[in-house]
C-alpha cells in the first residue's frame, strides 16, 4: 500500500489551468538556453537594468544591518513616501495607515481578492486581462464574469456591459489601467462612473495600476483620483515595470485604513513582512526617479512608435497604438487562424517568441502580444524576421 496523495481544491483548480499559453514561450526559453538564436518578445520583464544608485542603496542598507523582520504593513518610511506620492497623484490626503506593502503587485492583488471574495461570490474582470490573474482566480475559486472590451475602440472598457453583468453576487470589479496587454488607459470620467456604479451596488473596485508611470500621450489617472468616494476603492501599484525591478518583488496597495488592517492580517499569515533592504531601496527609488521615469518612458515610446511603423508596413498585420506600458497587440486574423498558430510557427520558422492572445481572453484569440523589451536595433531584426515569416505564408 503506497501513499495516496490528496490535494486541496485550490491546488487542483490551479493544476487544471491550461498550460498551453506558455508552451511557445517555454519552448523558446529552452532553445535560447541551448544557444539558439531566439528573440524573446513573449515576457514582460524589462530589458533595462535596475539603475545603479538603487542597487547601491540596497547594498548599503544590507551593510547597515537592514536584514531583520519588517512590520507586516511595511516600513513606515516607505509607506510615508508612497502616501505622499499618492496624495499628489489623487489630490486626496493619503496617510501611511492606508498603505500596505507586498512582495510584488501580484501578491497585492492575490491578498486583496482573498480578503474580499468567497467561493460563491462573483468577480467581474475586463478582457483582455493580465494572464497572471488566472492563477489568482483559480486559487480563490469564486466565479469570474468576463466582460469583453471594445476591440475596435482600442480595447476600451465597456461600462454598460459591466453594469448589465452585475448581480446580487457581484462582490468585486477588477480593473487594470493602463492595461496589460492592450496598453489602454481608462479615462477619468469613465473611472468615476465605474466607481460610482460599484459604490451604489456595494461592490469593491480593485484597480491594478502597475503601468501608471509608463504612459505616452495621456497621463495615467488613478481610480483614487477619479472616484468621489474612496470607501470601496483599492489601488495596487508596484516598481516592477516602472523601475525595471521585477526581481526585487515590491508592490503595494492603497486602501481605506480598515481594509488595510484586513490586508495586514492576511499578509501577516502568508508573507510575514517584506525585506527591509528592498523597502529602503524602493523608497530611495521613488524619491529620486523623476529623470529616470522620463527617460524610460521616452525609450518605450520610441520602441512603440518604431514597432507600430514596422507592423503597418507588413501586409496582413494590424495593431492599435498602445497608450501606455510595454506591450503591443498584433491582429493576425488576416494571416492566421489564431494567435497560437501564428506564435508557434513564428518561433519554429524565424526564432521570434511572442505570446498568443488567447491567454488574455477569448476576445484576443486572433492576436499575439509582443513585448517592447528590446532596443530598436533588436526590434529591427525581430520585424525583419516577422516580415519574412508573413511573406512566406501560403
Ligand atoms: C497588470 C499587471 N499586474 C501585475 C503584474 C505583476 O507585477 P509584480 O511584478 O509587481 O508582481 C503585471 C506583470 O506583468 C501586470 O501586467
pLDDT in tens, 154-183: 899 999 999 999 999 999 999 999 999 999
Q: What are phi and psi of 336, to 5 degrees?
A: -150, 150
Verify whether ligand 1 is closer than 6 Å to residue 208 (CB atom): yes
Helix extents (H) in the chain: 9-16, 23-33, 52-63, 76-90, 105-116, 133-140, 159-165, 188-200, 223-226, 257-270, 276-287, 290-312, 339-350, 376-391
Q: What is the mean pLDDT of residues 357-361?
A: 94
**Per-residue model confidence (pLDDT) at position 95:** 98
Verify whether ligand 1 is closer than 6 Å to residue 132 (CB atom): yes
> For a pocket test of ligand 1, which of 206, 240, 247, 285 has the largest count of ligand atoms closer than 8 A to its C-beta?
240
Write the CB contacts of 253 (distance below 8 Å, at least 6 apart in sequence). 99, 100, 102, 108, 111, 112, 234, 235, 236, 260, 263
CA of 334 to the centre of ligand 1 (A): 31
- Average pLDDT over the chain reads 95
CA of 325 to the centre of ligand 1 (A): 11
Write the CB contacts of 114 (distance below 8 Å, at least 6 apart in sequence). 139, 140, 266
Q: What is the DSSP letter of 312?
A: H
Q: Please give the model's pTM, rounded to 2 decimal places.
A: 0.96
**Per-residue model confidence (pLDDT) at position 18:** 67
Q: CA-to-CA distance for 23 and 5, rounded, in angstroms? A: 27
pLDDT in tens, 179-189: 999 999 999 99
Q: Please tell me whether residue 214 adopts helix, strand or coil conformation.
A: coil
CA of 241 to the centre of ligand 1 (A): 8
Verify whether ligand 1 is closer than 6 Å to residue 353 (CB atom): no
Q: Which domains does the chain have, with CATH numbers?
A: 9-49+291-391 (3.90.1150.10), 67-287 (3.40.640.10)
pLDDT in tens, 192-226: 999 999 999 999 999 999 999 999 999 999 999 99
CA of 102 to the centre of ligand 1 (A): 12
Verify whether ligand 1 is closer than 6 Å to residue 176 (CB atom): yes
Verify whether ligand 1 is closer than 6 Å to residue 212 (CB atom): no
pLDDT in tens, 249-308: 999 999 999 999 999 999 999 999 999 999 999 999 999 888 889 999 999 999 999 999
Q: What is the mean pLDDT of residues 34-41?
A: 96
Res. 19: pLDDT tops 80: no
Q: CA-to-CA distance for 36 and 348, rounded, in angstroms? A: 11
pLDDT in tens, 53-100: 999 999 999 999 999 999 999 999 999 999 999 999 999 999 999 999
Q: What is the mean pLDDT of residues 45-58?
A: 94
Q: CA-to-CA distance for 333 and 151, rounded, in angstroms? A: 13
pLDDT in tens, 374-391: 999 999 999 999 999 999
Handedness of CA 124, 130, 133, 138 (dihedral sign): positive
Verify whether ligand 1 is closer than 6 Å to residue 130 (CB atom): yes
Res. 17: pLDDT tops 90: no
Amino acid at each position: 500500500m503506497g501513499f495516496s496523495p490528496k490535494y486541496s481544491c485550490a491546488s487542483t483548480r490551479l493544476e487544471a489551468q491550461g498550460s498551453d499559453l506558455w508552451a511557445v514561450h517555454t519552448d523558446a526559453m529552452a532553445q535560447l538556453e541551448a544557444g539558439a538564436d531566439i528573440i524573446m518578445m513573449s515576457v514582460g520583464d524589462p530589458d533595462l537594468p535596475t539603475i545603479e544608485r538603487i542597487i547601491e542603496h540596497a547594498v548599503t542598507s544590507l551593510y547597515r544591518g537592514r536584514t531583520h523582520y519588517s512590520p507586516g504593513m511595511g516600513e513606515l518610511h516607505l509607506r510615508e513616501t508612497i502616501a505622499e506620492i499618492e496624495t499628489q497623484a489623487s489630490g486626496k490626503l493619503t496617510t501611511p495607515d492606508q498603505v500596505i506593502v507586498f512582495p510584488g503587485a501580484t501578491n497585492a492583488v492575490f491578498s486583496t481578492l482573498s480578503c474580499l471574495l468567497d467561493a460563491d461570490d462573483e468577480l467581474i474582470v475586463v478582457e483582455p486581462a493580465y494572464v497572471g490573474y488566472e492563477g489568482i482566480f483559480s486559487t480563490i475559486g469564486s466565479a469570474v464574469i468576463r466582460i469583453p472590451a471594445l476591440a475596435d475602440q482600442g480595447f476600451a472598457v465597456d461600462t454598460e456591459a459591466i453594469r448589465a453583468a452585475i448581480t446580487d453576487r457581484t462582490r468585486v470589479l477588477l480593473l487594470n489601467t493602463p492595461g496589460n496587454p492592450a496598453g489602454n488607459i481608462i479615462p477619468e470620467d469613465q473611472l468615476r462612473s465605474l466607481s460610482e456604479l460599484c459604490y451604489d451596488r456595494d461592490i469593491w473596485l480593485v484597480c491594478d495600476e502597475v503601468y501608471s508611470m509608463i504612459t505616452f500621450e495621456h497621463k495615467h489617472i488613478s481610480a483614487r483620483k477619479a472616484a468621489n468616494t474612496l470607501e470601496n476603492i483599492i489601488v495596487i501599484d508596484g516598481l516592477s515595470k516602472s523601475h525595471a525591478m521585477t526581481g526585487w518583488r515590491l508592490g503595494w496597495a492603497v486602501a481605506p485604513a480598515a481594509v488595510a488592517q484586513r490586508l495586514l492580517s492576511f499578509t501577516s499569515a502568508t508573507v510575514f513582512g517584506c525585506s527591509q533592504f528592498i523597502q529602503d531601496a524602493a523608497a530611495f527609488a521613488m524619491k529620486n526617479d523623476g529623470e529616470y521615469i522620463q527617460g524610460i518612458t521616452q525609450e518605450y515610446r520610441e520602441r512603440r512608435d518604431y514597432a507600430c511603423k514596422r507592423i503597418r508596413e507588413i501586409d496582413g498585420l494590424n495593431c492599435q497604438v498602445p497608450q501606455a506600458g510595454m506591450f503591443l497587440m498584433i491582429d493576425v486574423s488576416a494571416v492566421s487562424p489564431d494567435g497560437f498558430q501564428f506564435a508557434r510557427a513564428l518561433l519554429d520558422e524565424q526564432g521570434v517568441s511572442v505570446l498568443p492572445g488567447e491567454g488574455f481572453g477569448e476576445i484576443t484569440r486572433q492576436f499575439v502580444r509582443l513585448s517592447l523589451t528590446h532596443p530598436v536595433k533588436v526590434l529591427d531584426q525581430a520585424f525583419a524576421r516577422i516580415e519574412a515569416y508573413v511573406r512566406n505564408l501560403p
